[in-house]
Amino acid sequence: MSKLNVTLWNEFRHEKSHKEVQDVYPNGLHYAIGEGLAGDAELSLRYASLDEPEHGLTDEVLNSTDVLVWWGHMAHDEVKDEIVDKVVKRVWAGMGLVVLHSGHFSKPFKRLMGTDCALRWREAEDIERLWCVNPAHPIAQGLPDVITVGKEEMYGEYFGIPEPDELVYISWFTGGEVFRSGCCWHRGMGKVFYFRPGHETYPTYFNPQVRQIIQNGIHWAAPTPVSQFTRYVNKPTPPAVDAK
Ligand code: ZN
């Protein structure tokens, strides 16, 4: 069986400019996410970041990516629109997209959602718990019904997203807020999974259960085979003929 090609994209700026982030993720948080996936023999991992030419997302990389994982925050605006166009078109054609944490404001996610994707937030060392609201969903497999993520930034409702096609997790925070934290959508022939935890100053991407959800999310978002279809036909399709 051929492997699933996963590209882990990180803006990779906080790690270079903020010591407290560097201390948590010295190699960049994309490598911490990758470390959590390293035991999965079905995945082939690649890494890409904003400051590489074409943000590391050349046609060759994008066209051979089955699932793209996206983390961005301080430099969403620096992502070139021509690259965003290509990412969105790849999703429509079947590529999976896993958007993490502050990626809720990334250009590809906002484009695919068509809404403002805004939310309520606070950095005050809340504790976050993830409650599973869809235990039969593939993304929840192998996990308990409640997960304590630990200290995290708070994201609260209202989250300006279209109604998820499937909702898998809701977060609760010590401040009392709740948030739709694990959301799935179908866009064209592709799938999008948004997963909330992962503020850059907390070691969230070392949490084994968070890693498991990301791994499950990648498998869920993997492309499914697409039947042949035709867009333009210059003659009407003949009526079905009874073959007996
Ligand atoms: Zn954050």
CA gyration radius for the chain? 19
24 Cα–ligand 1 center, Å:
14
Q: pLDDT, tens digit, for every residue of 15-38?
A: 999 999 999 999 999 999 999 999
45 Cα–ligand 1 center, Å:
24
**pLDDT score for 229:** 86
Q: Tokens 């866009």 — which residue? A: 187
Six token digits for residue 28: 């960049």
131 Cα–ligand 1 center, Å:
20
Q: How far is CA 42 from CA 1, 62, 120, 141, 224, in A?
A: 8, 19, 37, 17, 15
CATH 3.30.70.100 fits 4-115+182-221, yes or no: no
Indicate the domain borders of the chain.
4-115+182-221
pTM: 0.96
Asked whether 154 and 139 are in contact (CB, 8 A), the reply is: no
102 Cα–ligand 1 center, Å:
5
Q: pLDDT, tens digit, for every residue of 54-99?
A: 999 999 999 999 999 999 999 999 999 999 999 999 999 999 999 9
Smallest CA-to-CA distance from 214 within 28, 30, 21 is with: 30
130 Cα–ligand 1 center, Å:
16
**pLDDT score for 243:** 62
